[in-house]
């Protein structure tokens, strides 16, 4: 009997902040985190480089990115779709 390994890929939603590179966009992902001691919520911004094969996404688009194999030193996400 063979064991099937199911991999869960991370999906994030963010806004495109740069599209100047060829086949790559930079996506800003915001998340809210509670402070451990005080419980107050605050924002954390993180930038991810994502693969855009057709160069179809522009600055300001809200997109969904999905984790994939490493495509370069910094790029480990691909753009799945544009969110309305």
| H or E segment and range at residue 41 | strand 41-51
**DSSP assignment letter at 66:** E
CB 43 within 8 A of CB 82: no
Please check whether residue 50 is in contact with residue 57, taking contact to mean a CB–CB distance below 8 angstroms.
Answer: no
Structure tokens, 35: 């402070």
Distance CA 47, CA 57 (A): 16
Fold type of domain 11-82: OB fold (Dihydrolipoamide Acetyltransferase, E2P) (2.40.50)
The pLDDT tens digits for 19-62 are: 999 999 999 999 999 999 999 999 999 999 999 999 999 999 99
3-state secondary structure of 24: strand
- 54/42 Cα distance (integer angstroms): 35
Model confidence, pTM: 0.86
Give the pLDDT of residue 19.
Answer: 96
**pLDDT band for position 4 (50/70/90)?**
confident
Which pLDDT does position 10 carry in this prediction?
Answer: 94
């Amino acid at each position: 009997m063979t064991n099937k390994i199911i991999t869960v890929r991370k999906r994030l939603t963010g806004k495109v902040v740069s599209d100047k590179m060829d086949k790559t966009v930079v996506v800003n992902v915001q998340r809210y985190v509670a402070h451990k001691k005080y419980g107050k919520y605050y924002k954390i911004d993180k930038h991810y480089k994502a693969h855009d094969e057709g160069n179809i996404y522009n600055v300001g688009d809200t997109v969904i990115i999905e984790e994939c194999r490493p495509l370069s030193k910094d790029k480990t996400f691909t753009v799945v779709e544009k969110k309305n």
